[in-house]
A and B are shown apart, each in its own frame.
Chain A
Amino acid sequence: MTDIFGLLKGKPEEADYKKKGVIVQGITGAYGSLHAHNMIAYGTNVVAGVTPGKGGQKFEETVPIYNTMQEAVNATNAKISIIFVPAKFFLAAAKEALEAGIKLLVAIPEHIPIRDTMEALDLANQKGAVIIGPNTPGIMIPELIKIGIMPAMPFKAGNIAVLSKSGTLLYEISDALTNSGFGQSITIGIGGDPINGTRLIDAFEMVKDIPDLEGLVIVGEIGGDSEEILAQRIIDSGFKKPTVAYIAGRAAPKEKRMGHAGAIVMGTYGSAESKVSMFNKANIPVAKRPAEVPVLLAGKIEKSD
């Protein structure tokens, strides 16, 4: 099982404890450079960037740029990378990263062909690496490390884990949690694609044993059956921490893709009703509105005390 905190934070005896190096693939693009800047401002230790043909240059006069991932990894020994390249080039970038020894790959781009995602995942499995995304806002431990495109403002350090398929709903709901006094121990963007490198159940496995965990928030949406599978896992594993869910897309028509490639109901497969009823079965309340999430969570925590 993936020790996600080990990857993101490390252990106290390690020299780079709490400042694990991150490589940004596509650091000179408009999107990549904006978010590299924001990540550095947040405190993330961005140790290198990669853009073919720009090796030898520096990003914002401090971060060395390499032509290849192999060179960047050799120079920095980093185990984490974040990809900002256009969707068409994702598979090549991901392969390069995994071959170079990256163990945590955050895949930001949207519109990656499913076959490319599956191929990248296949390689990641062989290499014992984890892919977050694609089409994800990223992953963060608030106030420690941010590997993604999320704004800093909604998040605060604390003891609630948030797993979300959607980006903006992750911000919205974390904001509501923060305002109600619920900081977050970790937030994981699952991504809005049909195939997720880290599925909801995988993310659950990553967070369920956090020692100080006070609660879990699951932000799902229509499409697929990962919420149902997670609900079943929660039932089977006897997980008892206060848990609240939110599902977007109750009013969406069937057979229409709602913005995310994965947000589509086919027949009854992927419907909101199916997800809500499984969460109910797992005794997990489902909020009707994002703002209701902290209210329901507070109720659950009170009961569990």
Chain B
Amino acid sequence: MQLLEFQAKELFREYGINLLDSISSTNIEEGRKHAKQLGYPFVIKIQVPVGGRGKAGGIQKCQNDDEFELKYPQVMNLTIKGEKARAILLEKMADIKKELYLSLFLNRSKRCYTIIASSEGGVEIESVKNQIIKEVGLGDVSDEIAKEVANEMGLQGKTADGFIDTLKKLSKLTIEKEAELAEINPLAIMQDDTIMALDGKFVTDDNSNFRHPELQKYQEKTAIEEQAEKSGFSLVELDGDIAVVGNGAGLVMSTLDMLSDNGGRPACFLDVGGGATTESVYEALTLISKINRVKGILVNLYGGIVKTTVVAEAFLKAYEDNLIDLPVFARLKGTESEKAKKMLEGSRTKIYSSVEEAINAAVMGKKK
């Protein structure tokens, strides 16, 4: 999961990384109290799990009560890259000398953690210049390596010490929480040469969640996503109107791509896992029935040994139970497909022999 800035900073604080004073809130009443506590001037920062907040107007300076009353609701009501505000962070204004970049990430092709650092931070990583890149095995950053990085960045004296300290703490945090990415951008050199983390990004490995009950509180899931997880499915909600269901992540992604190529807009990505049974398909339809914008369901199941009649039964039961009132466009590769077609005659589910046909039919035939 990807933590919000204020959540990442909670972890940073716990590990002793220097931070400015800040408080998060979810409504303006709370925010007003925090404004008094913190004192002007401060920065109002939207909390969304995506980048590009500054450009979208999600970070605003605030000098007094009037500005606060105007800007807090403005920022709160923003939607950035489809993401609504989860919270608002008020953070003291900083007197910065220079902005650096620092991250530790899981380097997938090198199969180890890797440090990226630069003395020219504050912009998105793609535009960070003079990147210093160091591979560090399973994650332990030694004094020696930390010093090397500081040196290569041209840091000296107090700033170098502060940077080394921050890097080592960030590395400890990354290893202990099994993160895929820990990023501080910008990492600032203040006027008094101390080092401060002004932003924080932290992505954990969901598969290690069972070892980290302390991170549970950061888990953000919609009711539907939670239910999907319980069923052992992967579900990602999207903003279109055709639900896409299949078995296997690659196959479902491929179906999304083809649907989009043909002018359709997916409402969700739903992977029911390797096999397909009456129960799992019925469960998938139950989930989809809870997504209001869905106008049609596109099913793409590939199973060498899946009986399509078993899947057909799930559709029939879903109509019978009034679970769904939607057309289903299904491509079912498996055995007994002729029999399945017969079973579904007269129902709102149509079976197609190729995924291309099913997609065309879905785009043309979804509920108006």
Interface of A toward B, CB cutoff 8 Å: 87-88, 111-115, 118-119, 121-122, 149-154, 164-172, 175, 192, 194-195, 199, 219, 221-226, 229, 246, 248-263, 266-268, 288-291
Q: Are B254 and A195 closer than 8 Å at their CB atoms?
A: no
B365 in the interface (beta carbon within 8 A): no
Q: Are A248 and B257 closer than 8 Å at their CB atoms?
A: yes
B125: A residues at CB distance < 8 A: 267
Q: Are B49 and A118 closer than 8 Å at their CB atoms?
A: no
Q: Within the complex, which residue of B111, B236, B304 is in contact with A258, where a contact is CB–CB below 8 Å?
A: B236
Q: List 9 A-B contacts (CB under 8 A).
A: A114-B180, A114-B205, A164-B250, A172-B254, A195-B108, A219-B250, A226-B108, A259-B271, A266-B203
CA distance A136 to B248 in the complex (A): 11
CA distance A254 to B259 in the complex (A): 18
Q: Are B208 and A113 closer than 8 Å at their CB atoms?
A: yes
When C-beta atoms are compared, the residue in chain B nearest to A272 turns out to be B257
Q: Are A251 and B206 closer than 8 Å at their CB atoms?
A: no
Across chains A and B, which 7 residue pairs bring their CB atoms closest together, nearest first?
Answer: A151-B304, A166-B250, A259-B249, A168-B248, A113-B208, A169-B250, A251-B260
Interface of B toward A, CB cutoff 8 Å: 2, 49-51, 81-82, 106, 108-109, 111-112, 124-126, 138, 178, 180-181, 203, 205-208, 210-211, 234, 236, 238, 246-254, 256-261, 266, 269, 271, 274, 302-305, 333, 354-356
Q: Are B356 and A291 closer than 8 Å at their CB atoms?
A: yes
Q: Are B248 and A167 closer than 8 Å at their CB atoms?
A: yes
Q: A167-B250, A248-B254, A289-B258 are in contact. Are A115 and B205 (CB under 8 A)?
A: yes
Most chain A CB within a 10 A radius of its CB, from B205, B246, B250: B250
CA distance A113 to B81 in the complex (A): 29
Q: Within the complex, which residue of A151, A255, A268 is in contact with B2, where a contact is CB–CB below 8 Å?
A: A255
Q: Within the complex, which residue of A87, A171, A255, A258 is in contact with B302, where a contact is CB–CB below 8 Å?
A: A171
Q: Are A194 and B302 closer than 8 Å at their CB atoms?
A: no
Q: Within the complex, which residue of A225, A257, A288, A289 is in contact with B108, where a contact is CB–CB below 8 Å?
A: A225
Q: Are A114 and B260 closer than 8 Å at their CB atoms?
A: no
Q: Are A195 and B111 closer than 8 Å at their CB atoms?
A: yes
Q: Are A166 and B249 closer than 8 Å at their CB atoms?
A: yes
Most chain B CB within a 10 A radius of its CB, from A114, A175, A254: A114
Q: Are B180 and A194 closer than 8 Å at their CB atoms?
A: yes
Most chain A CB within a 10 A radius of its CB, from B207, B261, B269: B207
When C-beta atoms are compared, the residue in chain B nearest to A164 turns out to be B250
Q: Within the complex, which residue of B126, B178, B256, B274 is in contact with A251, where a contact is CB–CB below 8 Å?
A: B256
CA distance A89 to B203 in the complex (A): 24
CA distance A246 to B266 in the complex (A): 21
B126: A residues at CB distance < 8 A: 267-268
B211: A residues at CB distance < 8 A: 113
Q: Are A121 and B250 closer than 8 Å at their CB atoms?
A: no
When C-beta atoms are compared, the residue in chain A nearest to B264 turns out to be A251
A263: B residues at CB distance < 8 A: 249, 253
When C-beta atoms are compared, the residue in chain A nearest to B205 turns out to be A114
CA distance A192 to B207 in the complex (A): 13
Q: Are A115 and B208 closer than 8 Å at their CB atoms?
A: yes
When C-beta atoms are compared, the residue in chain A nearest to B246 turns out to be A168
**How far is the CB of B232 from the nearest CB of chain A, in Å?**
10
When C-beta atoms are compared, the residue in chain B nearest to A150 turns out to be B304
A-B contacts besides A169-B254, A252-B269, 18 pairs, CB < 8 Å: A113-B208, A114-B205, A115-B208, A166-B251, A167-B250, A172-B251, A195-B106, A248-B250, A248-B254, A251-B253, A251-B260, A253-B236, A254-B50, A255-B2, A259-B271, A266-B181, A267-B51, A288-B261
Q: Are B111 and A118 closer than 8 Å at their CB atoms?
A: yes
CA distance A121 to B137 in the complex (A): 12
Q: Are A118 and B356 closer than 8 Å at their CB atoms?
A: no
**How far is the CB of B286 from the nearest CB of chain A, in Å?**
19
Q: Are A113 and B205 closer than 8 Å at their CB atoms?
A: yes
When C-beta atoms are compared, the residue in chain B nearest to A88 turns out to be B210
Q: Within the complex, which residue of B248, B253, B261, B274 is in contact with A252, where a contact is CB–CB below 8 Å?
A: B253
**How far is the CB of B75 from the nearest CB of chain A, in Å?**
20
A253: B residues at CB distance < 8 A: 82, 236, 238
When C-beta atoms are compared, the residue in chain B nearest to A111 turns out to be B207
Q: Within the complex, which residue of B82, B108, B210, B248 is in contact with A169, where a contact is CB–CB below 8 Å?
A: B248
A252: B residues at CB distance < 8 A: 253, 256, 269
Q: Are B303 and A151 closer than 8 Å at their CB atoms?
A: yes
B256: A residues at CB distance < 8 A: 249, 251-252
Q: Are A87 and B207 closer than 8 Å at their CB atoms?
A: yes
When C-beta atoms are compared, the residue in chain A nearest to B124 turns out to be A267
A119: B residues at CB distance < 8 A: 138
Q: Are B250 and A221 closer than 8 Å at their CB atoms?
A: yes
A88: B residues at CB distance < 8 A: 210
